[in-house]
Amino acid sequence: MVPSKILKILLGIIGILVIGFVLLNFDYFNQQVRYYINRIFVTEVQREIRRDEMKIVSEANELYIPTLDIRAPIIFIDGVGEEIFQPALQRGVVLYPGTAPVGVVGNTYIFGHSSDYAFAKGDYKTVFALLPKVEIGAEIIVTNERAEQFKYIVYEKFVAENTATYLLDQDTKGKKILTLQTSYPIGTALQRYIVKAELKPE
């Protein structure tokens, strides 16, 4: 039997670690709390009004998920690797190089942070914190370099291993697919949370 003094010390250490983890990922947890408060206290009519007010996406190269109030610029990069990814992720979500441009046949692959340390640089370190809460059938609006809008409808979401390179596959059998990716679970890059959407017919 563990002596009560040792047990108290162990519980104290665990408590300190939990508090430290929450503080390091404060922005992530803040978004989760705000999301649930919004779901409880804001009516569906108020949410629809808010979405309508934000729905106009006039900026070029922008991604917007109305149901989650997620909006971010799409950043383009020329190479792959953490030394390229991380500075780009500080400025928005990133189009994986070599994947399809927005609105054309193929797999448009965009990734962004779900959580990052509170002291990390950038305004988009938790841009995809709420991505797992997107619902099947939700609309994702993306603009291209000419600010033309493309509306995608979510049809699938799942957790994948961080080695699942098949997700970048461009063989979509003629479909226009959007894939969103973020790290999962919170505070790690052990897995990927994936959301798949297809371009809405005109």
Q: What is the pLDDT of residues 140-191, one digit of tens each?
A: 999 999 999 999 999 999 999 999 999 999 999 999 999 999 999 887 888 9
Taking alpha carbons only, the member of 146, 147, 127, 142 closest to residue 177 is 142
Kindly list the domain boundaries of the chain, sorted by start residue.
4-199
Check residue 42 and give its pLDDT.
67
Check residue 58 and give its pLDDT.
67
54, pLDDT greater than 60: no
Check residue 3 and give its pLDDT.
72
72, pLDDT greater than 80: yes
Q: Which residue has the higher pLDDT, 118 or 61?
A: 61
DSSP, residue by residue, 126-158: TTTTTGGGPPTT-EEEEE-TT--EEEEEEEEEE
Q: What is the pLDDT of residues 25-34, one digit of tens each?
A: 777 877 777 7
For 4-199, give the CATH class. mainly beta
Could you tell me which residues come within 8 angstroms of residue 199 by beta carbon, excluding any fewer than 6 positions away? 103, 150, 151, 152, 175, 176, 177, 178
* Span 115-136, average pLDDT: 88
3-state secondary structure of 95: strand
Amino acid at 122: G
Check residue 192 and give its pLDDT.
96
Bridge partners, 140 (sequence order): 152
Could you tell me which residues come within 8 angstroms of residue 37 by beta carbon, excluding any fewer than 6 positions away? none
Pairing of strands 106-111, 139-143: unpaired
- pLDDT confidence bin for 53, thresholds 50/70/90: low
Check residue 168 and give its pLDDT.
97
Amino acid at 189: A
Q: What is the pLDDT of residues 12-21, one digit of tens each?
A: 788 787 777 7
**Alpha carbon of residue 88 to chain centroid:** 15
Record the pTM: 0.82
Could you tell me which residues come within 8 angstroms of residue 76 by beta carbon, excluding any fewer than 6 positions away? 61, 94, 95, 97
